[in-house]
Structure 1
Amino acid sequence: MSDRLVEMADKLLPKRLAEPFKKIITNETGVQSVKYLISSCIAFAVDYVILLALERLFSGFALAMELAAVISFCVSSQINFHINRLWVFKKREGLLAELGGYYALALVSFSLKTFVLLELFVRVAGLPTIIAKPIAEVVMFVFNFFVQKKVIFRKKKDLDNTKSNMPE
């Protein structure tokens, strides 16, 4: 697939744009980061639509935004986990360990995003949720990618290298 993308980049992009693009799509981390971006956009779209719909549905409740955020997170995180596991990082073994690690990270990310960033942006800064949510997501994006790549979905050879470098 990356060969076809390289050909397309040569044909469609000016040379000054094609060269950096080709470096990204021929590097494993670059390919994973592009796939991760796509996966995150899909999960974000699901999360965002559910959040806004439920916030409107629950309006009048004291914790409408928080309740809507919990429900939208549960749905979108399941979608995101499976896309990341099978397509972005191409893992097929260790489902339970990866699921546990993913949800530990997701809980930390969700808590920071919802109870720190969204509270700060919506309640303190006065931004509407429709604007605050995308800003909060961007803040968490890079951190989550590297934790998933280096910890949760790391390759077996990376794990073996880590073990062999440990002092006895």
Structure 2
Amino acid sequence: MNTVSKTAYKTVFGSLGNYQKGGIEVTQGDARHYVFSNVFEVAAKSVPYERVVVGKNLEYVVETARADGQSPWFACAHDEFAIAMDGEVRIDFIALDQAPAQADGAVLVEPAGRKMGHVVLRQGHQSLLPAGCAYRFSADKACTLLLQSKLGALSVEKWAEICLH
């Protein structure tokens, strides 16, 4: 008779102020071919709105950022996405009179254009950051963002500092 052991799993949501560092168990291959990082830990050790790359697939990246206070204005020549991992973040938008130069990744801008409004993200909420629009983040309390973009001039790669391998 086969006996099956049942393991109870509990989902625990982390936050910038309360996370537990995880790990990786390699079941096949060489551990040097895998990386693992914790977005909350990376954001906690970063300056506000530093866009630290935590995942990469060709030219596309997933960046984490610590939202704390008000960010500078960003814009991008392609669509991006932002996800609030914890806390609450406001994103203000301006439709730019002149689109940013064609470049991969976000760039800093001094926006001139028409105000488009804002969205408020809470844990798990996602927002499109449309191409050709300026956007600025605001957070009253420090929290964590995940950003999907392309590798660009503002993308910071710290693989040796942030990964277990």
Place the TM-score, normalised by the shorter chain, in its bin: under 0.3
Which of 1 and 2 has higher RCO (CA within 8 Å, sep 6+)? Answer: 2
More helix by share: 1
TM-score by length of structure 2 reads 0.25
TM-score (norm 1): 0.25
